[in-house]
Chain A
Amino acid sequence: MKRIVAVLAALAVAGCSSGGGSAGRTGTSAPPLVIHAVDAGTFQEDFNPYHLEGVNFGTSGMIYETLMYFNKLKPGEITPWLALKYEWSDKGKSVTFTLRQGVKWTDGQPFTADDVAFTFRMLKDHAQLNASALEIKDAQALAPDKVRIDFKSTSYAKLFNIAGGSPIVPKHLWEKQQDPATFTNAKPVGTGPYKLAKFSAQLYEMEKNPSYWQPGKPEVPLLRFPAYTANALQTALQQGEVDWAGAFVPDIQKIFVQGKPEQNKFFFPPEGLVTLLPNLTNPILSKPEVRQAISLAIDRDKIVKVAERGYTKVAHPTGVAMPGGEAYVPPEYKDAAFKVDVERAKELLKGVNPAELKFTLLVPSPFTDWVNAAQLIREDLAKVGITVETRGVAFQDWVSKVGKGDYDLSIRGAEAGPTPYFQLRFLLFGGLAKPVGEAASGNYERWKDAETDRLIDAYAATDDLAEQQKATQGLGKIMMAKLPVLPLFYSPGWAQYRTNKYVGWPSEQDPYAMPSPYASPDAAVVLLHLKPAVK
């Protein structure tokens, strides 16, 4: 209501000139792009890039930019953005960024090292904004184009969070805010390619920033973000209202492609890894041969084809996303792949009392694809004499039970991260394992292994790419040999786009950024690559 009243007041002041909402204000002929990023019935007026929930999509990337851009589809590919280069010192406890010159905030003020220092000091002072838990000691501007950030501990492995995941905000506007944690930033001023043009609870629009630092870009003059709930979006995709969406579509050929594969395209690259979690505190599942047998019995091809509708691929046995992650996989396992071998699985189970091979498989019932996968796993395991009872529970219940280790088997995803290390750390790091009954925030299977932890520490202690890759390869070997978790398939990043207005989208041949409109800042990188389609 408050919003409606405000709009009314604005109309009264403007002499009731309701312009009819014409979109072509920029004068160019290029059409607007209609984007669906996240399901929402209505939008809240929140453009604070440090809010995890509630913030409107595009705030980070389109409006606020990071120091560097990390392409998750090509681990190790780092593009300079607001910063031109970085340099570590003091054994990884200090990093100095050299900043790009001539960048301006959309209110005309110049972007300087003070803004960067302010942003990181703000994260230090307001722990609730510091979602990547950076251990910042101090941040100071050394020169207008140089800024140094000091950390309490070695932070090589956090370069992505520092340079790729911390949008820089303008000091001259944000320092006036009492509490940046509750600041909703209704009039965002950033350095990015777009600025907010219009906001209502059902639609917001961003228009091109004419003084953007990349000359001639972006070529899409106007972005429209209508609010769609999950089911409304399916209809919208079918009717062609949306140009770019990131959503699960049940029958994509019928609903979206509609017989025009050259125009209505989709690209679902790996965004994470879905694994079968064995609870290692269970005495039977803690035996490596039992896990080996389970892995050999599961027909992953069938799961991908039936439960996942062929939208994704069977995971590499190390869990590393392929193609792209080759450098992070031990060379001898490059072509490794899962194979079903029922005989060998039965062999492995000979020493185990068949009466003890009874497990429940816990899945969140709203994830229907996982529920189907669980049924297939149950059938596969029955063939080798393992009795599995699948149990679908409410999402909340599943989160709580898996977190506390109150399960035998479960299915859960792990985010890919900028390099495969992040995913493997999340899955295997002993420091994340909590006693059963205490909610863990990773390593839900409770894997404890000195060699694993040593490799994880080794990666974090160096800035050398080759060393980091070697440590990750070591983790890959552990995945192959000991099967602490059983990789199933990659969780796909959803992206549907139409090429009738704009071309230049990421594809399997040219994966220059995550194609999903909800990936930030990747979505801004995609927008900067788009060109009007020639008719």
Chain B
Amino acid sequence: MRFLARRLGFYLLTAWAAITLNFLVPRLMPGDPVELLVARMRGNVDPAAIDAMRRAFGISDASLWQQYLDYLGNLAQGELGRSITFFPAEVSTVIADSLPWTVGLVGVATLISYLMGTSLGVLMAWKRGTWLDGVLPAATFMHAVPYFWVALALVFVFGVTLQWFPVSRAYGLDVMPGLTGEFAGSVVYHAALPAVTIVVASMADRILGMRNVMVTTLGEDYVVMAEAKGLTSRRVMWAYAARNAILPNITSFALSLGFVVGGSVLTEIVFSYPGIGSMLLKAVENEDFPLMQGIFLVISLAVLVANFLADLAYVVLDPRTRQEAE
């Protein structure tokens, strides 16, 4: 398939560009990690030891070009280096420890937000002129409000004032991680507020997208025909209209899956959730180049893979793209 090969080539090129930017961008930041460490320790480090620390962290004075080649070489071997913030932990370990939390939390929340948003969108287009129309402004409002603010409000009301939900961590202090019901329950309980934040803040997009396409679709002749045939309204709504209207929403879903890995940095920070967003913040604060690069790499690759999947989904779902391709 020439189409697929072309897309694949395009994605490889993009991946290379992402990897290179990944290398360059952190190095454009002012300062260097050891200076920052010294500043954080308020000068409690002997100046003569600063060289020792540079050596320990593997910070080299080599030329940028040499560093770039080393970086590519290490990357080819799957070596991401050691984190400076969590020295001497390997970057791959830090990412492997935090990624499951983010994928779990943001992934599930994205799925819920997608299902709820799409269904609401379908209903709202179908039942125009009813009370359901009021949902849209409310959802858009929640979407317009900065989502960390929603998170803070939830923390204040349900965490601090009512104390119904925990406000930090991924699981309780009294449970040990393991495949136990107790642990799973604790994880779900702790994920509740952050997940609600993400769902509430991102649902408007889906509702709006679905509703608008649905409204157009409802005017199509085949929908009128289906109604004229006397089919049940549920069947017309889901099997005739929604099925055709959902196409753009599937693409946007595939795309948003890519951003799941990037996480909702602010949500994670507000809820002290130990995911990749919190790690990214730590890495930036400490000029931890290896960790930043590792995280950016994982995020950009995830976005690329999601894009590729979206492309594929389109080819499968929409015959028109297939025709054009062949």
A and B assemble together: yes
Contact pattern, B 62-105, Cβ under 8 Å of A = 1, otherwise 0: 00000000000000000000111111110001101110100000
Say yes or no: B48 contacts A396, CB within 8 Å.
no
Say yes or no: A8 contacts B176, CB within 8 Å.
no
Decide if B44 is an interface residue (CB 8 Å cutoff).
Answer: yes
Say yes or no: A132 contacts B97, CB within 8 Å.
no
A131 and B30 contact, Cβ closer than 8 Å, known pairs A395-B285, A442-B43: no
Among candidates A41, A51, A399, residue contacting B88 with C-beta atoms closer than 8 Å: A51
CB contacts between A and B, total, < 8 Å: 172
Decide if B170 is an interface residue (CB 8 Å cutoff).
Answer: yes
How big is the B interface, by class? 35 or more
Say yes or no: B35 contacts A400, CB within 8 Å.
yes
C-alpha spacing A474/B320, complex, angstroms? 87
C-alpha spacing A127/B45, complex, angstroms? 14
Decide if A403 is an interface residue (CB 8 Å cutoff).
Answer: yes
C-alpha spacing A227/B169, complex, angstroms? 8
Among candidates A4, A44, A232, residue contacting B272 with C-beta atoms closer than 8 Å: A232
Decide if A11 is an interface residue (CB 8 Å cutoff).
Answer: yes
Among candidates B37, B42, B272, residue contacting A53 with C-beta atoms closer than 8 Å: B37
Decide if B274 is an interface residue (CB 8 Å cutoff).
Answer: yes
> Which residues of chain A are near B180, meaning CB under 8 Å?
18
A residues 119-134 with Cβ under 8 Å of B?
127-133
Among candidates A228, A397, A426, residue contacting B30 with C-beta atoms closer than 8 Å: A397
Say yes or no: B52 contacts A396, CB within 8 Å.
no
How big is the A interface, by class? 35 or more
Min CB–CB distance B205 → chain A (angstroms) = 28
Decide if A382 is an interface residue (CB 8 Å cutoff).
Answer: no
Decide if A1 is an interface residue (CB 8 Å cutoff).
Answer: yes
Say yes or no: B274 contacts A8, CB within 8 Å.
no
C-alpha spacing A41/B168, complex, angstroms? 9
C-alpha spacing A399/B87, complex, angstroms? 21
A181 and B88 contact, Cβ closer than 8 Å, known pairs A127-B52, A229-B272, A235-B167: yes
Say yes or no: B176 contacts A235, CB within 8 Å.
no
Decide if B224 is an interface residue (CB 8 Å cutoff).
Answer: no
Closest chain A residue to B156 by CB distance? A235
Decide if B159 is an interface residue (CB 8 Å cutoff).
Answer: yes
> Which residues of chain A are near B326, meaning CB under 8 Å?
none
Decide if A154 is an interface residue (CB 8 Å cutoff).
Answer: no
Decide if A21 is an interface residue (CB 8 Å cutoff).
Answer: yes
Decide if B23 is an interface residue (CB 8 Å cutoff).
Answer: no
Say yes or no: A200 contacts B272, CB within 8 Å.
no
> Which residues of chain A are near B272, meaning CB under 8 Å?
41, 227-229, 231-232
Decide if A203 is an interface residue (CB 8 Å cutoff).
Answer: yes
Say yes or no: A229 contacts B168, CB within 8 Å.
yes
Decide if B17 is an interface residue (CB 8 Å cutoff).
Answer: no
Min CB–CB distance A227 → chain B (angstroms) = 7
B residues 140-197 with Cβ under 8 Å of A?
155, 159-160, 163, 167-171, 173-180, 182
Say yes or no: A399 contacts B46, CB within 8 Å.
no
Say yes or no: A272 contacts B42, CB within 8 Å.
yes
> Which residues of chain A are near B182, meaning CB under 8 Å?
18
Decide if A368 is an interface residue (CB 8 Å cutoff).
Answer: no
Say yes or no: A201 contacts B274, CB within 8 Å.
yes
Among candidates A132, A399, A426, residue contacting B31 with C-beta atoms closer than 8 Å: A399
Say yes or no: A182 contacts B52, CB within 8 Å.
no
Decide if A42 is an interface residue (CB 8 Å cutoff).
Answer: yes
Decide if A414 is an interface residue (CB 8 Å cutoff).
Answer: yes
A residues 146-197 with Cβ under 8 Å of B?
161, 181-184
A232 and B46 contact, Cβ closer than 8 Å, known pairs A18-B180, A399-B39: no
A7 and B177 contact, Cβ closer than 8 Å, known pairs A54-B87, A400-B35: yes
Question: A residues near B, CB below 8 A?
Answer: 1-4, 7-8, 11, 18, 21, 41-42, 44, 46, 51-54, 127-133, 161, 181-184, 200-203, 224, 226-229, 231-232, 235-236, 238-239, 272, 394-397, 399-401, 403, 413-415, 417, 426, 432, 439, 441-442, 491
Nearest 3 A/B pairs, CB to CB: A128-B56, A133-B48, A232-B168
> Told that A44-B94, A51-B88, A54-B88 touch, could you supply 6 new A-B pairs with CB distance under 8 A?
A128-B56, A181-B56, A184-B88, A224-B173, A231-B269, A238-B160
Pull 27 A–B residue pairs with CB atoms less than 8 Å apart, ordered by A.
Answer: A2-B93, A3-B177, A4-B178, A11-B179, A18-B176, A18-B180, A21-B175, A21-B176, A41-B282, A42-B98, A52-B87, A53-B37, A54-B87, A131-B49, A131-B52, A132-B46, A133-B46, A182-B88, A200-B176, A226-B173, A229-B272, A231-B272, A232-B169, A396-B36, A414-B43, A415-B42, A426-B43
